[in-house]
Amino acid sequence: MFRIEWYLIFAAIAIAFIFPQLGSRWFEKCEAAFHKVARRRRLALLAVGMTALAARAALLRVLPIPAPLAHDEFSHLLAADTFAHGRLANAPHPMWIHFETFHVLQQPTYASMYPPAQGLILALGQVAAGHPFWGVWLSVGLLCAAICWMLQGWLSSGWALLGGVLAITRIAAFSYWGNSYWGGAMAAIGGALTLGALPRVGHQRIRDALLMALGLGLLAASRPYEGFVFSLPVFVALLAGAVEECRLAWRVSIRHTILPLGLLLGTTAVAMAYYFWRVTGSPFRMPYQVDRATYAVAPYFLWQSPKPVPAYHHEVMRQVYLQ
């Protein structure tokens, strides 16, 4: 798919140099229509989202529904199938030792080690359209629209729509986010909603606070560590803006921003704790932590020391984790 992208880029550059006036009148009409759509912000969001979905669907003949290849993809697909059948985790198999694989818990339950956001969108595709890929397809369309909405909060309407169009060409069509089950779009949607709500929360609208809470919730349910680091400057900016407000505005801020934001984030925390409890037996222990404690030796952070070598049941797993 990257080869196709490079071919299109080189072809566009060559045509621009050889025939610089080619289609100039047509481009002028397109530019006028572009700005007309950009000024109608809701229409721009709808146009970006639907175009992203249509672009990926149109490429199915060239880039058909992908087959999973990486360990991570199989883990996310396990989560999707589990959720699609109305469960949060599966009972461990009595002969689980013979079915051990990477990034999948076998004890205390049989489940994916990853946070649930990617599995949930894949499960939606599986239930609604019969295949998890349609969850991937939907997620990249939502991502492109979310990027456009985020940019509308910071830039003029024309630049925001252009950013959405660039997201379509770079993410929806040819990236691995739209051509695998690995994930990425759900966390990016969370980041786009959080950043897009940041310049809007000063208007004291409950909708903007809920969208920011939704973005932070998606980050927690997809990339908890990165989402936490990402959210720190956002909270600093919110606090700095709140300090500048007068006492009268504080009442409005509590009612329209702090309260809805806190309620939705609290609900997300409870839901995540319940999910952890069903999978690992503890509301404070993530499946990811259980998997790393069971199999991993090398630490992720510089200040940590290597762990003792666990008792591996399969040589291939020993080789991957040790070598």
For residues 276-304, b (16+ Cβ closer than 10 Å) or e, as one string?
Answer: beebbeeeeebbbebbbeebeeeeeeeee
Could you report the per-residue pLDDT of 53-102, keeping only the tens digit for each?
999 999 999 899 999 999 999 999 999 999 999 999 999 999 999 999 99
More confident residue, 245 or 9: 9
Residue 112 has pLDDT above 60, yes or no: yes
Q: How confident is the model at residue 287 (pLDDT cuts 50, 70, 90)?
A: very high
- What average pLDDT score do residues 211-215 get? 96
Could you report the per-residue pLDDT of 38-67, keeping only the tens digit for each?
999 999 999 999 999 999 999 999 899 999
Percent of the chain with pLDDT over 70: 96
Would you state the structure tokens that stand for residue 83, as one six-digit string? 């959720």
- What average pLDDT score do residues 263-272 get? 95
CB 265 within 8 A of CB 273: no
Q: How confident is the model at residue 254 (pLDDT cuts 50, 70, 90)?
A: confident
Q: Is 313 helix (H, G, I), strand (E, B) or coil?
A: coil
Secondary structure (H, E, C), 256-283? HHHHHHHHHHHHHHHHHHHHHHHHHCCC
Average pLDDT, the chain: 92
Q: How confident is the model at residue 258 (pLDDT cuts 50, 70, 90)?
A: confident
Lowest mean pLDDT among 22-36, 208-222, 239-253: 239-253
Q: Is 32 helix (H, G, I), strand (E, B) or coil?
A: helix
pLDDT score for 308: 92
> How far apart (Å, rounded) are the C-alpha atoms in residues 64 and 54?
14
Beta strand 111-112 pairing with 104-105: antiparallel
- What average pLDDT score do residues 155-182 get? 92
Choose among 126, 144, 186, 160: nearest CA to 50: 144
Residue with tokens 């399969």: 314
Q: How confident is the model at residue 244 (pLDDT cuts 50, 70, 90)?
A: low
The DSSP code sequence of 4-21 is: HHHHHHHHHHHHHHH-TT
CB 101 within 8 A of CB 312: no
